[in-house]
């Protein structure tokens, strides 16, 4: 009985060793290199894109903030894009002034002297 058990065990061991020894190696086929390169390039883009996006957003926010803080005069004309000389004079010096008259009136007696 014990001899039978021992023989069975040896047979199983031999069979296992044979299967391990004779098992064919899984074959890769085409090279991995192009896909590996593509993954590395993809990772780089994935890392830099958020930084670029964040940089762009920060810049846009900065511009908007600058416009908002710098805009302390009501520029209703800016909506229509009308910024001729008269408008500038009106905003700078008030009613009934053109840019030329405003320029001339800025020369007070004191300036001339």
Partner 1 sequence: MTDDQRMERIAAGDEAAFRELVEAWEQPVFAFLARMLGNREDARDLAQETFVRVYEQASRYSPEGKFRSWLFRIAGNFARSALRRRKVLQWVGLDSAQNIASNAHESPDRSIERDERNRKLQAALDKLPARQKEAIVLQRFHEMSQNEVAGAMGASIPAVESLLHRGMQALRTELVKE
Name 88's Cβ contacts closer than 8 Å, sequence gap at least 6.
99
Q: Does 4 bind partner 1 (CB under 8 A)?
A: no
Q: Which of 3, 4, 5, 40 binds partner 1 (CB under 8 A)?
A: 40
Distance of closest approach, residue 91 Cβ to partner 1, in angstroms: 59
Q: Which of 23, 47, 69, 112 binds partner 1 (CB under 8 A)?
A: 23
CA torsion through residues 94, 99, 101, 105, sign: positive
Distance of closest approach, residue 51 Cβ to partner 1, in angstroms: 18
How would DSSP label each residue in 43-74?
A: HHHHHHHHHHHHHHHHHHHHHHHHHHHH--S-
Distance of closest approach, residue 22 Cβ to partner 1, in angstroms: 7
């Amino acid at each position: 009985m014990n001899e039978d058990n021992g023989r069975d065990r040896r047979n199983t061991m031999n069979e296992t060793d044979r299967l391990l020894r004779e098992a064919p190696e899984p074959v890769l086929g085409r090279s991995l290199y192009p896909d590996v390169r593509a993954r590395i390039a993809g990772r780089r883009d994935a890392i830099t894109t958020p930084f670029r996006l964040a940089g762009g957003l920060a810049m846009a926010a900065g511009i908007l903030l600058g416009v908002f803080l710098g805009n302390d005069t009501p520029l209703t004309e800016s909506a229509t894009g009308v910024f001729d000389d008269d408008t500038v004079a009106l905003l700078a010096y008030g009613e009934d002034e053109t840019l030329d008259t405003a320029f001339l009136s800025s020369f007070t007696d004191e300036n001339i002297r």
